[in-house]
Amino acid sequence: MAPVPVRPARNARAFPSPEAVFGHLLRISRALAGHLDLQSAIQAVSEELDDVLPHDHLDVCLLRTGENVHVAYEAGLHTDWSLAEHPIPVSGSPIRSILLGEARELLTGDATTDPRFRFEGAFNHPIFDQNLRSRIHVALVVRGEVIGAFSCSKHDAGFYRDEDVTIAGHAAEMLAPYFYALRASQDAKRLAIEEAEGRAREEGLREGALRLTEELERERQRIGMDLHDQTLADLTRVVRRLEGLRDGEDRTSEALAPVIGSLHRCIGELREIIDDARPNILELFGFAEGVEDFLVRALADTGIVWNLSDRSEGAVDALGPSLRVALFRIVQEAVNNAVHHASPARIDVDLERSSEGGIQIAVRDDGVGFAPIPQRRRIGGIRNMQTRARLISASFFLDRLADGRGTLMSLSLGAPTSGEGEGR
Ligand SMILES: Nc1ncnc2c1ncn2[C@@H]1O[C@H](COP(=O)(O)OP(=O)(O)OP(=O)(O)O)[C@@H](O)[C@H]1O
Ligand SMILES: [Mg+2]
């Protein structure tokens, strides 16, 4: 059925003379010149226009460049058209026919009953909430392109006449280039901010990766020194003793015993060095067992009570080794920090598989909580946790617990997409 426009009833309101309208339009353009943001510009327009085009609500909605959404700026009443958190899709706009270029103007005597404003999925509740009955909508056109719409409303039904639409049309013609310029400057500002944020993220990641590389290099040097100072020295001693035994007379088991003892010590030291360098238990037994083994060793003799709750159903073990090790290192640092800085009575580690197939990890302590930023001297471990999380695209959160006691580190890794996993 073709929409039936609801025509306004005739009323006896006196009309301003063309000179008065012209004078007001001039004043609007002067008022606009002082406003560089859309919200204050629309407010200035509303005040200047009220004499020639009375209204209870006035708004300008602008299409976002290159997107099928629009944002609204309102004067008088503020409704969800401008207060909504996200831009509104054009397809849901009650005046989509204007925004899509199908109509240049709309006049209704009662928008609450006008079928043109009521359709499936219409974002039209402000009309009913605010009782916006009489409405005029005019397209804002620049160089033949619809960039948005100018609208004004009155609570009373049947308030506006065709002459009002003409005035609204003049106002829209004057406003369109101005709002076009403001939109362009806002777009430029938004783009510049997005670009700056992107660059900062990239820089942060690059710096973090560099720090990790440096840390790996330091670790390599440490392992080299440990091997040199401990194991190599011990093995050299063992070789000398064996050479002595080969060349000497006494080859009894008593003579061999100290050599065997030295070899066992060497093996023990090697194991410690390897354990320190690589969480090998992860590879042998799996992530949850690796974390448990680490907790047993890290919290032995500290008197700290701990609990590991594993509801991950082995999800971490399905990931690639570099991901597993990154997650393990982050948990390790969070627990070490809790032990060293928080003086907690208890530490809880939770591993969970999220409903979407991702992984959530939390390390919670009930200790002293974070000192305010200036008192924190070093942030090496936390920086590394953040960088590791970003390198594996996990979201990382570290903060004081809401009740003011203790710290929560939480990590969340999305579900691997197909082809990911081993490669990540
Ligand atoms: N769980 C926690 N409870 C209280 N304070 C914490 C906790 N975790 C970290 N902190 C504070 O944050 C600071 C920075 O932690 P970070 O791990 O970055 O460095 P660090 O542990 O001091 O040194 P390292 O580089 O050896 O890790 C700590 O010195 C400490 O003051
Ligand atoms: Mg630390």
Q: Is the CB of 367 under 6 A from ligand 1?
A: yes
**What pLDDT, on a 0 to 100 scale, did the predictor assign at position 149?**
96
Ligand 1 contact via 73 beta carbon (within 6 Å): no
Per residue, what are the HEC states of the chain?
Answer: CCCCCCCCCCCCCCCCCHHHHHHHHHHHHHHHHCCCCHHHHHHHHHHHHCCCCCCCEEEEEEECCCCCEEEEEEEECCCHHHHCCCCEEHHHCCCHHHHCCCCCEEEECCCCCCHHHCCCCCCCHHHHHCCCCEEEEEEEEECCEEEEEEEEEECCCCCCCHHHHHHHHHHHHHHHHHHHHHHHHHHHHHHHHHHHHHHHHHHHHHHHHHHHHHHHHHHHHHHHHHHHHHHHHHHHHHHHHHHHHHHCCCCCHHHHHHHHHHHHHHHHHHHHHHHHHCCHHHHHHCHHHHHHHHHHHHHCCCCCEEEEEEECCCHHHHCCHHHHHHHHHHHHHHHHHHHHHHCCCEEEEEEEECCCCCEEEEEEECCCCCCCHHHCCCCHHHHHHHHHHHHCCEEEEEEECCCCCCEEEEEEECCCCCCCCCCC
**CATH ID of 286-413, from 3.30.365.10, 3.30.530.20, 3.30.565.10, 3.40.50.720:** 3.30.565.10
pLDDT for 45-90, tens place per residue?
898 888 889 999 999 999 987 788 888 889 888 888 888 877 889 9
For ligand 1, whether the C-beta of 359 sits within 6 Å is no
Best mutation site among 329, 337, 386, 400 for ligand 1 pocket (most ligand atoms within 8 Å of CB): 337
pLDDT per residue over 253-285, tens digit each? 787 888 888 888 888 777 777 666 655 567 767
Question: Under CATH, domain 18-194 is a member of which superfamily?
Answer: GAF domain (3.30.450.40)
Range name among 20-34, 97-111, 385-399 with the lowest pLDDT average: 20-34
The atom number, within ligand 1, closest to the CA of 375 reads 31
Surrounding ion ligand 2 within 5 Å at CB are: 337, 381
Determine which residue's CA is closest to atom 22 belonging to ligand 1.
Answer: 378
Mean pLDDT (whole number) for 297-306:
89
Q: Would you state the pLDDT for residue 423? A: 38
| Ligand 1 pocket member 211 (CB < 6 A) | no
Instruction: Tell me how far the alpha carbon of residue 174 lies from the centroid of ligand 2, in angstroms.
Output: 61
Higher-scoring residue by pLDDT: 201, 74: 74
